[in-house]
Amino acid sequence: MEVRSYYASTLEAAMALARRELGPEALLIQSQRTAPEWIHLGKYEAVFAGEVLAQPAKPAAAPSFPIPKPANPKATPVDLVGRSDFRDRLRASSPSRRAPTPEPVPSISCDPGLGRKGFATTVALVGPAGAGKTTTAMKIALRRGLLESRTVRLIAFDPYRIGATRQMQHFADLFNLSFTDCELIAQLQTALAGGEAALTLIDTPGFSSNQADEREQLAACLRLFPEVESQLVLRLDRKPADNLVAVEQFSSFAASRLILTALDETLELADVPALVARANKPVSFLGTGQRLLEDIESANPQRMNEVVLHGWPKAASAAA
């Protein structure tokens, strides 16, 4: 696993360079305008993590990540987290730094929490395929785990797609996190019964509509563990009707919060209040892009108000 910076005159070009060298599974950790001392390399920097492909299409035009690489590659993540610009950008992107807007929307309840009271924080991310469960788990692991110096444990359960858990495995390797890959419900049960961390995140598969039995089996397994809180992940660029169906389909998980992703991919957000009302649970987090570091926000009513009224990214610029 390598962490590399790619520089180019546009962000898209920097990302294309990274994908060519690290492949489509590479994780975008951070993107930004290049710091003045590196500006000669390109106006934009994209920091990616991934495996260098055996035969890149072209020799790397990109320099390696501009921090000294330790002899032990496992130490790289610590350096990444310790990088001052990594932390500064996180603070700068924190919603709490943004000017509050006066008009709350009482109809959208928000509760940006994790886990159940009285238990070690253990959260299962459930929802349809492609909703952003895996990405959000990694974002939460970074923001609410590593950067708050909490021990993090990742559990991935996805027996249905070959290689489905590989991306999370890469992520865990990169940041030296405990990772358990479960292919059977029994393995998941054993994993939940043992092991401890301040924050445990369980990534689950996106069941198709003909996998109701498998879905119910997983829900029943999670119910055996009172410490597990399920959060339902829904993608806002889906048809509103499909999200309403998903709310019903995943009802046996008794999710206590909603995570809404892909805010950045749609301007049509007028249905969000109705969706949240139907789900009858507060919104905890908003996914606003693919970048693991910056593209997650804690939900709050004012922010939801802006987003519903002005869409994204208008709301973002209004709040910045």
Ligand X SMILES: Nc1nc2c(ncn2[C@@H]2O[C@H](COP(=O)(O)OP(=O)(O)O)[C@@H](O)[C@H]2O)c(=O)[nH]1
Q: Kindly tell me which of 41 and 260 has the beta carbon lying closer to ligand X.
A: 260
Cβ 164 to Mg ion, closest distance in Å?
6
Q: Which residue is at the shortest CB distance from Mg ion?
A: 134
Instruction: For CA atoms 199, 288, 293, 191, give the dihedral sign.
Output: positive
Taking CB under 6 A as the criterion, the residue among 34, 180, 231, 288 binding ligand X is 288
- Quick one: 199 or 202, whose CB is closer to Mg ion? 202
Q: Which one of the spans 93-101, 190-198, 209-217, 258-266 is the region binding ligand X (CB under 6 A)?
A: 258-266
Q: How far apart are CA 3 and CA 317, in angstroms?
A: 30
The secondary structure of 173-187 as a DSSP string is HHTT-EEEEESSHHH
When CB distances to ligand X are compared, the closest residue is: 287
Q: Which is nearer to ligand X, 41 or 281 (CB)?
A: 281
* Least Å from the CB of residue 202 to ligand X: 12
Instruction: Tell me the H-state helices in 93-251.
Output: 133-140, 166-174, 185-193, 212-223, 240-249
Q: How far, in Å, CA of 277 to CA of 106, rounded?
A: 11
Q: Does 134 bind ligand X (CB under 6 A)?
A: yes
Instruction: For residue 134, state whether it binds Mg ion (rule: CB under 5 A).
Output: yes
Distance CA 138, CA 291 (A): 10
By the rule CB under 6 A, 267 interacts with ligand X: no
Residues 52-81 that bind ligand X (CB under 6 A): none
Comparing CB distances to Mg ion, the nearer of 89 and 166 is 166
Candidates 166, 290, 309, 313: give the one binding ligand X (CB under 6 A): 290
Mode of pairing for the β-strands spanning 121-126 and 199-203: parallel
Question: Under rule CB under 6 A, how many of the chain's residues touch ligand X?
Answer: 17
Strands (E), the chain: 2-8, 27-33, 44-50, 121-126, 152-157, 178-182, 199-203, 228-235, 257-261, 283-287, 296-298
Length of the chain: 320
User: Which are the contacts of 57, defined by CB distance < 8 A and separation ≥ 6?
Assistant: 20
Q: Which is nearer to ligand X, 136 or 200 (CB)?
A: 136
Query: Out of Mg ion, ligand X, none, which partner does residue 181 contact, by CB within 5 to 8 A per kind?
Result: none
Rounded Cα distance between 183 and 188, Å, is 8
**In what helix (H) or strand (E) does residue 93 lie, and over which residues does it extend?**
none
Per-residue contact string for residues 150-189; x = within reach of ligand X by CB under 6 A: ----------------------------------------
Smallest distance, ligand X to C-beta of residue 214, A:
15
Q: In the complex, which residues of this chain contact ligand X (CB under 6 A)? A: 129-135, 206, 261-262, 264-265, 287-290, 295
